[in-house]
Amino acid sequence: MRSRCDNRSRNIRARLGANRLLEIECLDPNTNTSTSRITISNCSYGPETCIQGFVWREANQSDRVCVLPNIRQQTRNDNASAISRRSPNGGAYGPDTCLQEYVWRDAFPGDHTCVTPATRQQAAFDNRRKTARVACRS
């Protein structure tokens, strides 16, 4: 058995930690106290794999913000309804002008999908939490 602990200790303690990720603590062989912690993440979908319970939003093909599954479904519904929410005559913002009750989602730069103001706030909220919801980082 080879140790991955900094102090080359073979004394370890393992537990299922936050987001059900395996945490391994390296223990000092003399005092049995923790000297370092290793977290093993599931990176099966690459460096942008979401923590358990979250999925990619997929507002467009490159959108990898991790959101709850119901938000991804809402995003798909909004994308499918996008044309019906635009002003048929254009307007101040050209052909991407939304009908009065809608605003641009702004999930990513240039996202002019027309959604409710609450949905735009949700997209901004999810964008701010992007790094906290990723299991692996490159």
pLDDT digits (tens, 9 = 90+) for 109-137: 999 999 999 999 999 999 999 988 888 76
Kindly state the helix (H) or strand (E) to which residue 14 belongs, with its residue range. Answer: strand 12-16
For residue 119, is it within any domain?
A: yes
More confident site: 48 or 99: 99
Q: Where are the beta strands (DSSP E) in 17-111?
A: 22-27, 34-40, 55-56, 66-67, 103-104
The verdict on residue 23 lying in a domain is: yes
Least confident of 18-32, 45-59, 76-90: 18-32
Check whether residue 129 and residue 61 sit in a common domain: yes
60 and 29 in one domain?
Answer: no
Residue 73 sits in the same domain as residue 126: yes
For the chain, what is the domain count?
2
More confidently predicted of 51 and 6: 51
Same domain, 63 and 90: yes
Q: What is the dihedral of CA 80, 81, 84, 86, to 10 degrees?
A: -100
Q: Domain containing 78: what range? A: 55-133
Read off the pLDDT band of 3 (50, 70, 90). very low
Whole-model pTM? 0.68
Say whether both 62 and 31 belong to one domain.
Answer: no
**pLDDT 10s digits, 63-103:** 999 999 999 999 999 999 999 999 999 999 899 999 999 99
66 lies in the same domain as 111: yes
47 domain residue, yes or no: no
Burial class (CB in 10 A: 0-12, 13-18, 19+), 15: exposed
Do 25 and 69 fall within a single domain? no
Q: Are residues 30 and 95 in the same domain?
A: no
63 & 117 share domain: yes
Residue 96 lies inside a defined structural domain of this protein: yes
| Domain presence at residue 46 | no
Q: Is the model's pLDDT at 5 over the cut of 80? A: no
CB 101 within 8 A of CB 118: no
Answer yes or no: is 50 within a domain: no
CA-wise closest residue to 56 among 127, 137, 109: 127
